Structure 1
Amino acid sequence: MTLSPYLDIIFRSVAVYFFMTIALRLFGKKELSQLNTGDIILILLISNSVQNAMVGPDTSLLGGLIAALALFIINYGIKKLEHKYPKLNTLLLDKPEILIHDGKLDFKTLSKLDITNEELKEAMREHGVEYFYEVKLAMLEIDGTISIISKNSNLIQTHYKRKHNDKSSGSQIS
C-alpha cells in the first residue's frame, strides 16, 4: 500500500472544498439555514457528482474516510485562519446588508436581495413594528436573519429568520 494514492485523495478533496466554497459565494446562497426541497436536491446531486473527483478510482472505505478527514481538516483550518485574519472572513462570507435606515427603505439593496414587501413587513411584525418609519435600522445578517431595531426603545428586539424566497409568490418591493 503506497501513500501516493491517499495524497491524491487529499489533494482532490481540498480542491473540491475550495471549488464548492467559491461556487456558493459566487452564487450568493445567503440562506443555507433555510433550504427548500430544490436546494437539498441540488446539494445531494452536487455531493454525488464530486465524489469521484475527490476519491478518483479508490472507492474503498479507507479512501472515503481519508477524503472526509481531509475535508474536516481543511474546514477546521479555514475557521482558524478566519479568526486570525478577519479579511479572509470578509472574503469568504457575505457582509450584513442595511435594508432600512431611519425609516427609509434601501430599495436598491432590497431588490438585489430579492426581499419582498410582505417578507419585510412580516419581519417587522415579528419585532413588534407596524410601520417603516418606526424602524431605526433593519439588517439582513450573514446567517439570513433580518434584525430590526425600532425607534421605540421599549420594544423587545427579536430575530426574524428569512424564509427561502419563492420568486413566484409575493410582490417585490420596487
Structure 2
Amino acid sequence: MFDLQVNGWELLARAALIYFALFIMVRVSGKRTVGQFTPFDLLVVMLLSEAVSNALSGGDDSVLGAWILAAALIFMNGLLGFVSSRSKKLERLLEGHPVLIGRDGQWFDEVLRRHRLGASDAEKALREADCALGDLKLAVLETDGSISIVKR
C-alpha cells in the first residue's frame, strides 16, 4: 500500500510533464474552456483526467505515489500562481488578457466566433447584468472566461 512501485523522482517528472502539457492545451483551447463549462466541456475535462491518469502514475498504485503526485501538482499550481503574481509579463502569458467583444449596443461577431462564444452566451451576460442590448456600453470577455458588461 505504501511501497512505491516507481521511483519518486520519476513520479515528480511525470507530474510536471503532464501538468504543463495540459496547461498549454487548456490555455490554447481558449477562455471558454476555463470559464463557461457546457456539458460537453465538462465531459472533456473528465475524459482528460482519465486519459492522463496512467501516464501520470506510471503504473504506481501506492498511496505514497498518489500523495507525491498530488503534492507535486498542487505545488506547481501554487508556484505558477506565485510567479505570475510577481510578473505582469508572465501573468499575461499564462492567463491571457481581456478581450473587447461588444461596444455601444453592438456585438463584434468575428471576435465572438474567434473565442467560440455564441449569441446565447452574450445574451445571458446581458441578462445577468440586467442590461438591454441598447444600453450596452462595453462587453469584455475576461481572462477567466466570464463576460463583464458595462452599462451606459
| Greater per-residue helix proportion | 2
- Please give the per-residue CA displacement for 1:147-167, whole angstroms capped at 9, x wherever unaligned: 11111xxxxxxxxxxxxxxxx
- The amino acid of 1:111's aligned partner reads R
SS across alignment from 2:49: helix
Question: What are the within-5 Å matches in structure 2 for residues 62-73 of structure 1?
Answer: 62-73=64-75
Task: Please name the residue that 1:44 is paired with.
Answer: 46
Structure 1's unaligned 5+ residue stretches are 152-174
Residues 106, 22 of structure 1: CA spacing in aligned structure 2 closer, same or farther, 3 A cutoff? same
- Please give the per-residue CA displacement for 1:115-147, whole angstroms capped at 9, x wherever unaligned: 333442343233333233x22211111222221
Question: What are the within-5 Å matches in structure 2 for residues 55-94 of structure 1?
Answer: 55-94=57-96
Structure 2 contact 33–145 (Cα < 8 Å) conserved:
yes
SS across alignment from 1:100: strand
Instruction: Tell me how far 1:95 sits from its aligned partner.
Output: 1.8
Higher relative contact order (CA 8 A, sep 6+): 2
Instruction: Give the alignment's TM-score, normalised by structure 2.
Output: 0.83
Question: What are the within-5 Å matches in structure 2 for residues 120-139 of structure 1?
Answer: 120-132=122-134, 134-139=135-140
Q: Distance in 1 between matches of 2:48 and 2:71?
A: 19
- Please give the per-residue CA displacement for 1:50-91, whole angstroms capped at 9, x wherever unaligned: 122122132211111101111011111110000011211111
Task: Please name the residue that 1:7 is paired with.
Answer: 9
Task: Please name the residue that 2:148 is paired with.
Answer: 147
Percent identity over the alignment is: 30
Q: Using the TM superposition, name which of 72-81 and 101-110 deviates more.
A: 101-110
Q: Distance in 1 between matches of 2:85 and 2:49?
A: 28
Instruction: Tell me how far 1:40 sits from its aligned partner.
Output: 2.6
Residues 129, 16 of structure 1: CA spacing in aligned structure 2 closer, same or farther, 3 A cutoff? same
Residues 38, 100 of structure 1: CA spacing in aligned structure 2 closer, same or farther, 3 A cutoff? closer
Paired residues, number: 149
Structure 2's unaligned 5+ residue stretches are none
Q: Using the TM superposition, name which of 17-26 and 54-63 deviates more.
A: 54-63
- The amino acid of 2:32's aligned partner reads K
Instruction: Tell me how far 1:111 sits from its aligned partner.
Output: 2.3
Q: Using the TM superposition, name which of 93-102 and 65-74 deviates more.
A: 93-102
Structure 2 contact 32–115 (Cα < 8 Å) conserved:
no
